[in-house]
Amino acid sequence: MRRTTRRIVGVTTGLMLVAGTTTAAHATADGKPKPKGKVDDPCTLLDTSKVAKAFGHPVADPALDPIFISCKFAVGDDPTHAPGGTVSVVQLFPHFGQALPTATKAFQDQHAIDVLSNFELADVEGLGKGAYMNLTNGTLVVLANKKFELSVGWQPGSITTPVAKRDQKKLVQLAKQAVARAPR
């Protein structure tokens, strides 16, 4: 009876150690879950289901453009005509074409370029380390963390007017997911 009890205790302890190790492997040192997004694959920053919830069905499989480190989600039966359109996610930093040394400097530089281009901009509070909406071209630029900058955009089919208020809110919701998944 004692041997059986020791074996059960030993097996149970071993299983608990394995389970604890597996759980710890999915968390960072500060206890937060590891991001699921991958550097150079912005398609991993958003779920197709979240895009569909925000902008409608159907949503095509995401299309990665490795040259521009971007990903496009075509929305609707015909993305070139309303109510369809395209959601895009672009990795702005790190990026092989980016000469600046940090994501913060890249974010500041992008903001300065947009100001000099006379784009209509609006700060977005509570998103990453900093964010602003480019109302002229429908893009939300986000400093996700000190090592990663991204943009999330919506281009409605056959409409070139500034992004609607309801769509701005949808972009912010999608950007929250992207920030949570952004590589650290």
Residue 31's pLDDT band, with cuts at 50, 70 and 90, is low
With a cut of 80, say whether residue 130 has pLDDT above it: yes
With a cut of 70, say whether residue 161 has pLDDT above it: no
Q: What is the pLDDT of residues 34-67, one digit of tens each?
A: 568 999 999 999 999 999 999 999 999 999 999 9
Residue 32's pLDDT band, with cuts at 50, 70 and 90, is low
Q: Are 122 and 133 in contact (CB under 8 A)?
A: yes
**What residue spans define the domains of the chain?**
1-29, 42-181
DSSP reduced 3-state for 166: helix
Cβ-based neighbours of 45, under 8 Å, separated by 6 or more: 37, 71, 89, 150, 177, 178, 181, 182
The Cα–Cα gap between 112 and 26 comes to: 38
Predicted TM-score of the model (pTM):
0.80
